[in-house]
Structure 1
Amino acid sequence: MTRTPIHDAEQSGAVPVDLGPLPEWDLSDLYPAPDAPQIAADLDRLQSACAAFAADYQGRLADLSPAGMLACIERWQEIDLIAGRIMSYAGLRYYQNTTDAGRAKMMGDLQARITEMTTPLVFFSLEFNRIPDEAYQATFTAPDGPARYKPVFDRMRAMRPHQLSDELEQFLHDNSVVGAAAWNRLFDETTAALTFDVDGEELGLEATLNLLTDHDRARREAGARALAAVFGQQVKLFARIHNTLAKEKAIEDKWRKMPTPQHGRHLSNHVEPEVVQALRDAVVAAYPRLSHRYYRLKARWLGLDKLQVWDRNAPLPQESPRLIGWDEARATVLDAYAGFAPELAQLAQPFFDKGWIDAAVKPGKAPGAFAHPTVTDAHPYVLLNYLGKPRDVMTLAHELGHGVHQRLAASQGELLASTPLTLAETASVFGEMLTFRALLAKATDPAQRKALLAGKVEDMINTVVRQIAFYDFECRLHAARAQGELTPDDINAIWMDIQHESLGDAFDYMPGYETFWAYIPHFIHSPFYVYAYAFGDGLVNALYAAYEAAPEGFPARYFDMLRAGGSQHHSTLLQPFGLNAADPAFWDKGLSMIEGMIDELEAMES
């Protein structure tokens, strides 16, 4: 899952100090080499499996016995595993260097071949959703049937009202490689190739974004102005990408009779629209108590009447600039994990020892950070762009949380391991919270405690306030696009309205900041994804409060929740903790934790 690279992503440019040996991926657990014969063999196996599956089951799904349906699903799952392994390998190689033509070609060619091979399988979900409800329930509750897979197929059947004809679904499947996937790739390759002139030094996107957290205000300003200059030059291209993807989505949504642009995301997340709306409304109502209040406080700390955009993630004046070597970062996170439960640290340890992390900043490397689950008969891989800042340590804790979650959920098998986005951020944000609390417990100096608290508040604002603001930006952009083509100025205006609402009156905005929507990948890759971060943060705040109130037995319940993967609805998974995300007051509990930290910071001023 991609860690949102809003303030802590780095990509190219030289690392200024020795951070120690930084690990690189060893992808040989997937395939030994890009020309390995095993890839060709798996492609042959995939083609045969797809053809045989279609020959055996097309037109016959409704007549299968419970045992026959179980066998069918297990064959479907095996196809997922083969295709997932091939594309994971090609994708991870590509993300290591998105500007390498050979890697890009390999990924594109394999994506096209696998799309073609799997075209005969388009019938499966369409025909499956035509099985009468009574027959479906009987098959999936029979003792010798596929009962354990029912959550997957309940989610599939939720798409029934939005299903198109077999012919149209096949067309969309075949066309996907030249539709959204092609525009996604154009976005990725464009952002990876951008360079920024910062006081005569040429930097990539992520290294330039990293300057926004520099101790030197002049360097922060130089970075912000360099970003604005390049985004301004490229804004027509980014506006074209957004216009095209939003219109493509609108056309498909119209055919599928989706009531809103967000509805498909809610269905895939297995979350009710009213739950998301309750989260959004609670956060927006809290803007004055959280971001507006905190940024006024930060302006006082920095001795400024108004903050500029390059001050938003600035370190505090009393915070000594310190870069954290890789060994220290590793020890910090593993110790924090072990303090919660030794098993958590043991699950994270192989990432460091076995080449499951790619940490160094390299030219062409994908920006930000993510944990890719690959396939359940392999293991996840974590990508970082580690530059030794305290936030980079938190990003390590975050991505390892994803990795541990993916390892635990793998026991569910390929179809059930994937966690809906609403819970996908739980382990990652919990890992950050454990690391933060461990560091805070060791902080005896008031200035150090203040810096830690302020850093955590800023991370939470970036995770909750910023992500809900981004969600509102997407909602407004898609609504505006429905009325016609959007000019860059139209999109800029939506962005700035959202910034004023969410950040408050503590800011002035430099000319050029209106284009800063352009580089955010979530709008391109996963429309309306971003609320999952706020969902995860609010959920983790509530979970952590439950842990502090009753630590006995909590780790065991926590591990059970992670092992469940996507096999249960979020309401069921939260029951053992006495939590209910459908209750509007649930979100206020999580937001009150952030408010309490700001209260403590304000009290330090008196």
Structure 2
Amino acid sequence: MAGTASANTDSELGDLPEWDLRDLYPAPDSPELQGDLERARQQARQLRQDYEGRIAELHGDSLAVAVERYEAIEEMLGRLMSYAQLTYSGDMTDPETGRFFQSMQEEATTISSDLIFFTLEINALSDEALNARVAESSRLAHYWPWLRDVRAMRPYQLSDELERFINDKQVTGRGAWTRLFDETMASLRFPLDGEQLTSSEILNKLSSPSEETRRKAGKTFGEKLGEHVPTFAHIHNTLIKDKAIEDQWRGFERPVSSRNLANHVEDEVVDALVSAVRESYPRLSHRYYRLKAKWLGKDTLAYWDRNAPLPEDDDRTVPWGEARSTVLNAYAAFSPRMAEIGQHFFDKSWIDAPTRAGKAPGAFSHPTVPSAHPYVLLNYQGRTRDVMTLAHELGHGVHQYLAGQHQGALMADTPLTLAETASVFGEMLTFQRMLANERDPGRRKVMLAGKVEDMINTVVRQIAFHTFEARLHEERKHGEILASRIGEIWLETQREALGEVFSFDEEYQNFWAYIPHFIHVPFYVYAYAFGDCLVNSLYAVYEQAESGFAEQYLEMLAAGGTKRHRELLAPFGLDAADPGFWYKGLGLIERFIDELEQYD
């Protein structure tokens, strides 16, 4: 259950924790939740009544008071919607849970409608007027990073009426289509050897040591997705068009530009990342998978062999207790403070680990709000990759915890490009510690290969996703895209990324349909590659640092959304705007592949 703490016991995995959401609210129908909902409603109305049309009249501390009141309402709304989202993620197929989530979205949308004026009127101030107010009030100066980021949207801001209309329509527009996607995916069952598996469980079978199991898993996954491809294609076409309409009204020239603006990163920086990775495909994924084909005794790899374990891999199940100690020990070796924060997630029921029917697939860390703490969702099945996923999501959790403790509701959120830094760094710490402790050459080869595959998945695969997504948005400008054409674009971008060593059966053209990022957050995916390359460069600095790196690193995490990427990376001598920056990060993957070639 999402609202209580309990243990899910598996004979091999051990006791898998379930999260306890009572730190947010006791229950969906609790007086505490209803009380916060009413307070948010009343305070939003009062804020609008007190300040609408008057922001330009406020000076210094008076404007600071208004921002503080606005932040308090945002904190309440964040707590309410975090609870609703996490409850829904625990079981997306339960009608009552879905009804609760939808009703909370509608309530939050209505309340937010009373708040829209606030940022619009702040943006109506001239730079000179706002700077003068910040200069005369230390309370307002505290919020300068938030004011700076709000005002980044000024060139693309619409009229008050249109902004309110867009907000109000979200619940029956993008929000409704996103919910349809989530509930459709959560309800799908994939038949395999007499069982009906969830998407998380069937995808796990693609890492089976049995080639026949992988083949059947790939076939049944692709074929079942194919049965629903018309629905998924309609959802994608609708949401891409919806985004294009809003982008046109706002004046964004490229589909990716609004995401880049939200990530506080320049179009040119993202373009450089994408170009560097695509140019490196032959030296990274193509080269590695040719090696893997040899190791598996094949001339070509079927798509279901992409995540196949190597012949030397003993496929040992990693119990939950071992996974926990592995990650926390790696964190502690880097920074005791980092491990101390990570320990809270295990001790205080902040993690939901077991697979369940209806549970959201994949993994995430939800920051909730600064007055509470993050929660981590996993679908833990005992593979080494699941240990890396735990390290990844716990890295997010530590980052979110520190930012929330130091920055407050308006400035804790980190741009997606930097949000992946702590997660990928946590993975790297865990991997490097495991590798350093391994003396058996065969096991080292397996570990290195696993890490290279993870990095290829994070960098190459995500940039391939980005290229696929960019092409869809471009083709949608000329009319609705047929499901068959979406499949063609998918295969083209996958072949480019993975190389000629792979063969793809017909059902693989449907695999695009399960990826939630295209639906939830358009153009999210490049942030993974951004974060991985950034961390590779950052880790190289750490290896050369004499002392003080861990303290600087935690300070960077605690900054939350208050600093842009150049400010955050400057203390480490790194600059993502440098054209050579990305090749430095990609170089680490190449070096790992160089080492693996010695085993050939």
TM-score by length of 2: 0.97
The correspondence for 1:486, drawn from 471, 481, 487, is 481
2:415 aligns to what? Answer: 420
- Post-superposition shift, 1:44? 1.2
Counterpart code for 1:162: Y
The correspondence for 1:450, drawn from 435, 439, 445, is 445
1:287 aligns to what? Answer: 281
Matched, 1:316 2:340: no
1:10 aligns to what? Answer: none
Counterpart code for 2:442: A
SS of structure 2 residue aligned to 1:109: helix
CA distance in 2, matches of 1:143, 1:575: 28
The correspondence for 1:131, drawn from 125, 132, 141, is 125
2:250 aligns to what? Answer: 256
1:355 aligns to what? Answer: 349
Structure 2 contact 464–497 (Cα < 8 Å) conserved = yes
For residues 40-99 of structure 1, the C-alpha deviation after alignment (integer angstroms, 9 at most, x for no partner) is 111111111001100111111111111011111111100011111111111111100111
1:3 aligns to what? Answer: none
1:547 aligns to what? Answer: 542
Matched, 1:476 2:471: yes
CA distance in 1, matches of 2:490, 2:233: 12
Counterpart code for 1:537: D
- Post-superposition shift, 1:136? 1.2
CA distance in 2, matches of 1:78, 1:489: 48
Matched, 1:155 2:149: yes
Counterpart code for 1:480: E
1:332 aligns to what? Answer: 326
SS of structure 1 residue aligned to 2:284: helix
1:9 aligns to what? Answer: none
Displaced runs of 4 or more, over 6 A: none
1:59 aligns to what? Answer: 53
Provide closer, same or farther for how the CA distance between residues 49 and 134 of structure 1 changes in structure 2, counting only shifts above 3 A.
Answer: same
Structure 1 contact 15–361 (Cα < 8 Å) conserved = no
Q: Which runs of 5+ in 1 are unaligned?
A: 1-13
Matched, 1:365 2:373: no
Deviates more, 1:198-207 or 1:336-345: 198-207
Count of residues paired in the alignment: 592
CA distance in 2, matches of 1:227, 1:256: 39
2:379 aligns to what? Answer: 385
Structure 1 contact 69–145 (Cα < 8 Å) conserved = no
Q: Percent identity?
A: 56
1:179 aligns to what? Answer: 173
SS of structure 1 residue aligned to 2:197: strand
SS of structure 1 residue aligned to 2:489: helix
Provide closer, same or farther for how the CA distance between residues 40 and 273 of structure 1 changes in structure 2, counting only shifts above 3 A.
Answer: same
- Post-superposition shift, 1:587? 0.6
For residues 150-188 of structure 1, the C-alpha deviation after alignment (integer angstroms, 9 at most, x for no partner) is 122212112111111111111111111000000000000
CA distance in 2, matches of 1:434, 1:474: 31
CA distance in 2, matches of 1:472, 1:417: 30
Q: Which runs of 5+ in 2 are unaligned?
A: 1-7
Matched, 1:582 2:577: yes
- Post-superposition shift, 1:18? 2.8
Counterpart code for 1:168: L
1:206 aligns to what? Answer: 200
Matched, 1:464 2:473: no
CA distance in 1, matches of 2:38, 2:444: 58
CA distance in 1, matches of 2:412, 2:360: 25
Deviates more, 1:111-120 or 1:314-323: 111-120
- Post-superposition shift, 1:15? 9.4
CA distance in 1, matches of 2:358, 2:395: 26
Q: Which has the higher contact order (CA 8 A, sep 6+)?
A: 1
SS of structure 2 residue aligned to 1:416: coil
RMSD: 1.1
CA distance in 2, matches of 1:383, 1:359: 6
Structure 2 contact 334–550 (Cα < 8 Å) conserved = yes
Deviates more, 1:156-165 or 1:67-76: 156-165
SS of structure 2 residue aligned to 1:197: strand
The correspondence for 1:240, drawn from 227, 231, 234, is 234
Structure 1 contact 155–267 (Cα < 8 Å) conserved = no
CA distance in 2, matches of 1:178, 1:315: 44
1:297 aligns to what? Answer: 291
- Post-superposition shift, 1:120? 1.6
Structure 1 contact 98–192 (Cα < 8 Å) conserved = yes
2:3 aligns to what? Answer: none
Counterpart code for 1:161: P
- Post-superposition shift, 1:16? 7.5
Structure 1 contact 162–258 (Cα < 8 Å) conserved = yes
2:25 aligns to what? Answer: 31
CA distance in 1, matches of 2:102, 2:205: 33
The correspondence for 1:168, drawn from 159, 162, 171, is 162
SS of structure 2 residue aligned to 1:415: coil
CA distance in 2, matches of 1:148, 1:312: 49
Structure 2 contact 9–15 (Cα < 8 Å) conserved = no
1:513 aligns to what? Answer: 508
- Post-superposition shift, 1:138? 1.2
Structure 1 contact 208–223 (Cα < 8 Å) conserved = yes
Deviates more, 1:422-431 or 1:165-174: 165-174
Provide closer, same or farther for how the CA distance between residues 252 and 267 of structure 1 changes in structure 2, counting only shifts above 3 A.
Answer: same
Structure 1 contact 19–324 (Cα < 8 Å) conserved = yes
CA distance in 2, matches of 1:17, 1:218: 25
SS of structure 2 residue aligned to 1:287: helix
1:47 aligns to what? Answer: 41
The correspondence for 2:338, drawn from 344, 352, 357, is 344
1:4 aligns to what? Answer: none
TM-score by length of 1: 0.97
- Post-superposition shift, 1:200? 2.5
- Post-superposition shift, 1:142? 2.7
1:534 aligns to what? Answer: 529
CA distance in 1, matches of 2:497, 2:340: 40
Counterpart code for 1:165: S
Provide closer, same or farther for how the CA distance between residues 551 and 466 of structure 1 changes in structure 2, counting only shifts above 3 A.
Answer: farther
SS of structure 2 residue aligned to 1:371: strand
The correspondence for 1:75, drawn from 55, 62, 69, is 69
Matched, 1:98 2:85: no
CA distance in 2, matches of 1:297, 1:15: 39
Deviates more, 1:400-409 or 1:191-200: 191-200
CA distance in 2, matches of 1:267, 1:556: 29
Matched, 1:435 2:430: yes
Counterpart code for 1:570: H
SS of structure 1 residue aligned to 2:14: coil
Structure 1 contact 15–387 (Cα < 8 Å) conserved = no
For residues 2-21 of structure 1, the C-alpha deviation after alignment (integer angstroms, 9 at most, x for no partner) is xxxxxxxxxxxx99743111
For residues 291-327 of structure 1, the C-alpha deviation after alignment (integer angstroms, 9 at most, x for no partner) is 0000000000000110011100111011101101010
- Post-superposition shift, 1:199? 2.6
Deviates more, 1:440-449 or 1:159-168: 159-168
